[in-house]
Amino acid sequence: MGLAIDAACDVSQAFLQKHNIAVMPISIRVDDEVFMDDRSQVELHRFLDRDMGSRSHSAETVPCSIEDVQHLFLDKLVLEQDCVFCLTITATRSAINDHVIKASFAVLKNYRAARDKHGVAGPFLMRVIDTRSLFAGSAPAIVEAMRLIEAGETPAAIRERLTYVANNSYGYMLPRDLYYLRARARKRGDRSVGLVSAMLGSALDIKPLLRGYRGETSPVGKVRGFEHGAETLFAYAAQRVHAGLLVPVVCVSYGGDVSELAKLPGYTALRTACEECGVELMEAPMSITGMVNVGVGAVSLGFAAEEHVAEF
């Protein structure tokens, strides 16, 4: 059994390589340049080195098409594995989940011919899971999927558990630039960050804390200043770690060089809390798709926990 994820799911490159996880890419056009967001370090650094983030409010993002997903599976994955779980960011924010579901019909119809041609016997299963969150919020379900696969659980048991984890995954995001966030939101037809809020926020240096949970994205708090916002978010995450998580991992992604995370206030305390509770603190670069939509320098944080009220 194996995993495939869409590029907007933030997990570390080391985790992807260790577990041989396939990435369904997202094409991004900024001005006259095209970037292939497949979570590769090379493309990520090209985007950052060329300072494309400052112009990305005019960018166009195109998730992996139905045909591209079919090719990925029929040309590669059905020949390498007998069952693949596909995890995507929330279907309410991206068409990729719908594309993968539609592609799965053709894959399950045509996989036998592809496997027979290469002498691969037996049936093939493909299961699509909506993580119901985005960016780092997708990480807990991905980490849990890998743990269950390595534990030898059945596909049915894995699917049931991942659905439960996805329904209890919390993804938080702290932006640096409200004007940028509003410009991108307007381009997508999303009015969650209004002009007045953006103007007041920039003037007073007030930042919203946004949460993705069960497919809904909304502000759950306001903080003054990015540094204070990061400290508030990390302190809250440390509290949840001590309260107990459903999956022993907290993922923090950053829209830039992840070494900047250690410089933010409150991050050391979060690291200590994770160490004390036996929880992995996974650091991941935010996807190019994420940076295009919420801005360079943003922080995303994800964990899975029993339902609770977020208090900031």
Start and end residues for every CATH 3.30.1180.10 domain found in the chain = 169-304
Start and end residues for every CATH 3.40.50.10170 domain found in the chain = 2-167
Percentage above 70 pLDDT, the chain: 91
Which of 11-20, 29-38, 202-211 shows the lowest mean pLDDT across its residues? 202-211
DSSP string for residues in the chain:
-EEEEETTB---HHHHHHTT-EEE-EEEEETTEEEEESS-HHHHHHHHHTTGGGGGGG-EEEEPPHHHHHHHIIIIIHHH-SEEEEEES-TTT-SHHHHHHHHHHHHHHHHHHHHHHTT--S--EEEEEE-SS-BGGGHHHHHHHHHHHHTT--HHHHHHHHHHHHHTEEEEEE-S-HHHHHHHHHHTT--SS-HHHHHHHHHHTEEEEEEEETTEEEEEEEEESHHHHHHHHHHHHHHHHHH--SSSEEEEEESS-GGGGGGSTTHHHHHHHHHHHT-EEEEEEPPHHHHHHH-TT-EEEEEE-S------
Q: Could you read off the pLDDT of 60-105 as tens digits, one per residue?
A: 888 999 999 999 999 999 999 999 999 999 999 899 999 999 999 9
Mean pLDDT of 265-276: 98
Architecture of domain 2-167: 3-Layer(aba) Sandwich (3.40)
Q: Please tell me the pTM assigned to this model.
A: 0.93
169-304: in CATH 3.30.1180.10: yes
Q: Could you read off the pLDDT of 28-47 as tens digits, one per residue?
A: 998 888 999 999 999 999 99
Q: How confident is the model at residue 122 (pLDDT cuts 50, 70, 90)?
A: very high
The dihedral of CA 42, 44, 45, 47: what is its sign? Answer: positive
